[in-house]
Amino acid sequence: MKNLTVAFFAFVALPVWGQIQLDNQFEDWGVIPHSTNTDGGPFVSTALSSNAKWLYLHVEMVGEVALDEDVLPNDFRILLDLDDDPNTGVDYAGQGLGVDLLINLATRQAIRYTNGSGIESFNEVGMRAAPTYSGKEFEIAFNRDLAQVAGPSVRVAWYDNATQTGFPVAGMAHTLSDSPVPFLPVSVERPEDTLNRIAFWNMNGRMDEANAQQAMERILQAVSPDILALSEVSDVSPSFVQNLLNDWLPIEGGGSWNVVKDDWDLMIAAKGDILSSYASVTRQFPALVEGHPDWGMPLLITSSHLKCCGGSSNEAQRQAEADEYMGFLRNAIYGEEGLSIPWNTPVVYGGDLNMVGLEAPIYTLVTGDISNENAHGPDFNPDWDGTELTEHPLLQTDHPFDFTWMSGNINSEWMPGKLDYLITSDASIDLKAGFVIRTADMSPLRLAQLGLQADDALEASDHFIVVGDLGHGGMLGSAPDSDEDGVDDFEDNCPYAENLDQGDFNNDGVGDACSDTDGDGLSDALEISVYGTDPLSADSDQDGVNDGLELCVCSALDICPGDLTNDAVVSVADLLLLLGLFGATC
């Protein structure tokens, strides 16, 4: 699996004995002992950790797999001996464990052999995993109460039913920790130097439901965003949402929220003006939005809702949509296909990306590696500093997990997962803070402080709101100026020849200083400003001698070798003149 560029927020220290953050970041496993496979097979290594509430597993695979999807089939099992006693449970496949709970990843089923029997859902046994999409490395958590972890120790093994091999042999033992979850709730206050707060939220088609509206209002008032990117709002109009926001989040001074909608189910709402929007990008809705004045330019905000779910056709469509957006962004950055944004425009992309199955779409959206270049153009580096964009691994404010979606049905075969994302151009944006609001894990005191209720998050939607605080990136306001003429390269019609006046007599988009329209070896600027010859005729006086040969073609008195134009500077103009003389007979 190719590595994605990410920004890591170290919310708390991670002691060896206790806490794993389930966020697709694996640094916290580095200090935990692993069992390494030396006998071949699909598994590389595995480890266990725990605290009073959760049992954690880490695994590295030889090949890329999607743990609970059919797109990259696997026949893996997790064998959990929840009391480390071979005399309870079953000796599954002769692996030497007393398996109390078996996780069949291929069929998305949990099978309990102790204290009950039969098939349960991953949700019923409190299972969580990251990432939600394919990879070679995963971290998994089980709620100790729901999974019925008996202790005081457990033993866990991985089993590949296809090859009938288990790892580690006889399982890996782990003494359970009863230490409390060492996680400090994340503040929802804006950090210093935040210019704008943005929120992405899939509304699940509930914006016109009274109970959901009450929960939405409380959450939005607690978060108080300046820009709001919505999905699954096909059933409501921009004016409907505008009225709600003006009521819930009134703008100081009596202004109004601005709201635009694409041709289906995406919206962008902002306190500032929305200058333009691009509804033609499939299931993604970019817009140029006026943010805080200190940006000095608009922000490119994109609300997304990529194709849902597994299956080869859905996978292909989701990848095509990611390709299409990166083609749009490339054209906007390079000023092609009628698109153009100012140099170093802050780029913010997010929303419900439905990242299940294959990793490839998120890889494209971060790196600019376009899968179908025939349809969507060449790869490119999508950040302004020539690097990748940054996907931010945000955690819930009151729980150290990253999932942003969960079914309201505990019997659902699909466990909670991270479907909603925040991606930015870190050259122009510094993410000061970011978080996910899930009210179910908030303490009563915390809920009261924020004016929330415990069931608000799932009452409002089956997706949790994702929030980011945006500030100036290190490159904001800077741009390359290769010829140091005071005009940056992206605006300069001669980026490598000094021409502060940007003269272009024939309006062909190429500055006179680096253009030789008639091909006589003299730049248009020299002909117009120095020699007074015709830049449209190679032989201005029609005497049969090329202007470049007839005029000064050597350095006066050899005072400045190479200065063919006698302007005391050896420049691109001299090179153009020299090139025009190649092949001439003197």
Q: Tell me the CATH number at 57.
A: 2.60.40
Residue 436 burial (10 A CB sphere; 0-12, 13-18, 19+): buried
Check if the beta carbon of residue 351 is closer than 8 Å to that of residue 229.
yes
pLDDT above 90: residue 425:
yes
Mean pLDDT of the chain: 90
Which range among 120-134, 244-258, 472-486 shows the weakest confidence by mean pLDDT? 472-486
Does residue 31 sit in the same domain as residue 144? yes
Among 263, 202, 579, residue whose Cα is nearest residue 418: 202
In a domain, 548, yes or no: yes
Q: Say yes or no to pLDDT of 552 above 80.
A: no
Mind listing the pLDDT tens digit for each residue in 13-37?
333 344 799 999 999 999 999 999 9
Percent of the chain with pLDDT over 70: 91
Asked if residue 191 belongs to a domain, the reply is no
Q: Are residues 39 and 131 in the same domain?
A: yes
d(CA 472, CA 462): 32
**Closest residue by Cα to residue 284 from 375, 220, 200, 390:** 200
501 in the same domain as 448: no
Neighbours of 170 (CB within 10 A): 13
- pLDDT score, position 13: 34
Are 273 and 227 members of one domain? yes
User: Are 410 and 499 within one domain?
Assistant: no
Domain count, the chain: 3
Could you tell me if 456 and 579 lie in one domain? no
**Contact status, residue 309 vs residue 356, Cβ threshold 8 Å:** yes
Tell me the average pLDDT across 420-432.
Answer: 96
Q: What average pLDDT does range 85-108 have in this prediction?
A: 95
Angstrom distances, CA of residue 474 to CA of 156, 387, 418, 499: 46, 14, 29, 28
Q: Point out the least confidently predicted range of 177-181, 209-213, 297-301.
A: 177-181
| Residue where a domain stops, chosen among 431, 449, 472 | 472
Do 224 and 127 lie in one domain? The reply is no
| Domain of 154, in residue numbers | 27-175
Which pLDDT value is given to residue 367? 98
Strands (E), 398-465: 420-424, 429-436
pTM of the predicted model, to two decimals? 0.81
Grade residue 521 by pLDDT with cuts at 50, 70 and 90. confident
My answer on whether 293 and 165 are in the same domain is no
CA dihedral 572, 574, 579, 585 (to 10 degrees): 180
State the pLDDT at residue 547.
80
Does some domain include residue 184? no
Do 217 and 346 share a domain, yes or no? yes
Q: How much of the chain, in percent, has pLDDT values that exceed 90?
A: 72
On whether both 550 and 428 belong to a single domain, the answer is: no
How far apart CA 523 and CA 546 sit, in angstroms, is 13
Same domain, 449 and 538: no
Q: Looking at the structure, do residues 339 and 447 belong to the same domain, yes or no?
A: yes
- Dihedral-angle region of residue 541 (phi above 0 means left; psi in -120 to 50 means alpha; beta otherwise): alpha
- Decide which of 472, 495, 530 is a domain's last residue: 472
| Position 546 confidence tier, pLDDT thresholds 50, 70, 90 | confident
Closest CA to 423 of 6, 2, 3: 6
Domain annotation covers residue 21 = no
From the CB of residue 273, how many other CB atoms can be counted at a distance below 10 Å? 11
Assess if residue 13 is contained within a domain: no
Identify whether 185 is part of a domain. Answer: no
In this prediction, residue 483 carries a pLDDT of: 78
Residue 22 within any structural domain of the chain = no
Residue that terminates a domain, selected from 175, 205, 239: 175
Rounded Cα gap, residues 322 and 379, in angstroms: 12
Mean pLDDT of 500-529: 88
Asked if residue 181 belongs to a domain, the reply is no
Which CATH number is 459's domain given? 3.60.10.10
Task: Give the pLDDT of residue 11.
Answer: 36
- Average pLDDT on 473-480 reads 62
Q: Residue 571: pLDDT above 90?
A: no
146, pLDDT greater than 90: yes
